[in-house]
Structure 1
């Protein structure tokens, strides 16, 4: 029996109940919230392993709630949205979501996404990544066990996906990773239409790491090929 609690945040009762039924069938413990405010209260009082978060809700919407969660937690977040526009997806990924499912969705697809995110997060959180405890390139310091990143004396707050991408590149300095390589290594899925997803994460990484993101010191673009970090 699994012990992971999954927080389901949606203002539509029927959707919360449907997702909860499928989660229970897989042995998870669903916890329901009707809006962002209630979700944040639950997260402050319970140990939650993953959040399924509706984007469009009255009051504190999913985007705002995700930003608040990311201030204190690296747990996986899967967005739900009735909108299918690419900009919605990009907005969600930019603020720290790990995955995105568009309504209407098949519950079994959502459960598969939950399992995938939990598997990768729990493995990564237990430091099963084959790497030294510390990776350092110039002033960039990555503490693998604690998921901390520093540039000089400044600590950089990264989402789990951003951290995984940075660690992948930093562990192999000089090696060029294509967008497909990065997506398949970090997301663990075939890289179908992965371009925007990876590019959004790279852009956010540069904004956080670099003094001038247009002239990056660490994450370099190899035009027509991919990205790399040089020693």
Structure 2
């Protein structure tokens, strides 16, 4: 049974999330304090963490930032803060998804299922045969999920890795934000394309010498993104 941690100080909302998750076969725990929530997230062996942003003792941004240093599991924000800047900040800190309150419990469950499915598929790929995709100093090992640039290993979240791998296995092909959102987050994902832009920005910060003048991932304004030149296996 998959285990979900809910870090939410509003008990009514937390119990609503928990009840819907349990009805769908998940085990869900609730923590109402931010500091305690982070501690549980790091030690509780959970499959997904759902976190509010406005919490006592430690806010959701801090939780995401600290958790992402040690966890690669899906982190999902559920918050009343619906402004774009809040969403972008949450995604930049390492969240995989962002739902705005009020939300549909059914939508939350659908997103959790989608994230778990894609995470397991990504992790399951590590048992396959090793393939190293290279391009001008960029290396992606599809068996170990390691990414390195000029011999320097780069740490990536599951979504960052999956997005980079998708572009690297389709070199020189241009993909719109909508296409990438569907390919990486799934057709049942209800988020907006800002998610793609934020993740591209995060990847560039990790692999590009100058993220403002990228060598690997090129933006074609009004069209989409592509990984430039040939990538060789």
Q: TM-score, normalised by structure 1?
A: 0.91
Q: For 2:21 and 2:191, how far apart are their aligned partners in 1?
A: 28
The reply to whether residue 153 of structure 1 matches residue 148 of structure 2 is: no
Q: For 2:199 and 2:81, how far apart are their aligned partners in 1?
A: 21
Query: What's the counterpart of residue 31 of structure 2?
Result: 33
Spell out the pairing of 1:133-212 with structure 2 (5 A cutoff).
133-189=131-187, 194-212=192-210
- Cα pair distance change 1:179/1:130, threshold 3 Å: farther
Query: What's the counterpart of residue 19 of structure 1?
Result: 17
Structure with the greater relative contact order (CA < 8 A, sep ≥ 6): 1 or 2? Answer: 2
Aligned 8 A contact 2:78 2:100 in 1: yes
> 2:99 pairs with 98, 101, 123, which one?
101
Aligned 8 A contact 1:179 1:194 in 2: no
Aligned 8 A contact 1:55 1:63 in 2: yes
What 5-or-longer segments of structure 1 have no aligned partner?
A: none
1:66 CA displacement: 0.4
Once the two structures are overlaid, the 10-residue window that deviates more, 126-135 or 27-36, is: 126-135
Aligned residues: 229
- Cα pair distance change 1:32/1:171, threshold 3 Å: same
What 5-or-longer segments of structure 2 have no aligned partner?
A: none
Spell out the pairing of 1:16-95 with structure 2 (5 A cutoff).
16-95=14-93
Aligned 8 A contact 1:9 1:51 in 2: yes
What RMSD in Å do the two structures reach over aligned CA positions? 2.1
Aligned 8 A contact 2:126 2:143 in 1: no
Q: For 2:3 and 2:188, how far apart are their aligned partners in 1?
A: 28
Aligned 8 A contact 2:94 2:157 in 1: yes
1:96 CA displacement: 1.2
Aligned 8 A contact 2:126 2:145 in 1: no
Query: What's the counterpart of residue 112 of structure 2?
Result: 114
